[in-house]
A and B are shown apart, each in its own frame.
Chain A
Amino acid sequence: DGGITQSPKYLFRKEGQNVTLSCEQNLNHDAMYWYRQDPGQGLRLIYYSQIVNDFQKGDIAEGYSVSREKKESFPLTVTSAQKNPTAFYLCASSIATTNTGELFFGEGSRLTVL
Chain B
Amino acid sequence: GQQVMQIPQYQHVQEGEDFTTYCNSSTTLSNIQWYKQRPGGHPVFLIQLVKSGEVKKQKRLTFQFGEAKKNSSLHITATQTTDVGTYFCAGRSGGSNYKLTFGKGTLLTVNP
Q: Taking A105-B42, A105-B43 as contacts, is the C-beta distance between A96 and B50 under 8 angstroms?
A: no
Q: Does A50 contact B (CB under 8 A)?
A: yes
Q: Taking A48-B99, A59-B1 as contacts, is the C-beta distance between A103 and B45 under 8 angstroms?
A: yes
Q: Flag if A99 contacts B97 (CB, 8 Å).
A: yes
Sample of 19 further A-B pairs with CB below 8 A, known A58-B99, A96-B97, A105-B43: A33-B98, A42-B6, A43-B90, A43-B102, A45-B99, A48-B99, A90-B42, A94-B98, A98-B97, A99-B98, A100-B48, A100-B50, A100-B92, A103-B35, A103-B43, A103-B100, A104-B45, A105-B44, A107-B42
Q: Flag if B42 contacts A42 (CB, 8 Å).
A: no
Q: Does B104 contact A (CB under 8 A)?
A: yes
Bitwise interface map of B from 94 to 108 toward A, beta carbon under 8 Å scored 1, else 0:
001111111111000
Q: Does A41 contact B (CB under 8 A)?
A: yes
Q: Flag if B31 contacts A90 (CB, 8 Å).
A: no
Q: Flag if B99 contacts A102 (CB, 8 Å).
A: no
Q: Flag if B88 contacts A96 (CB, 8 Å).
A: no
Cα distance A96–B96 in the bound complex, in angstroms: 11
Q: Flag if B104 contacts A106 (CB, 8 Å).
A: no
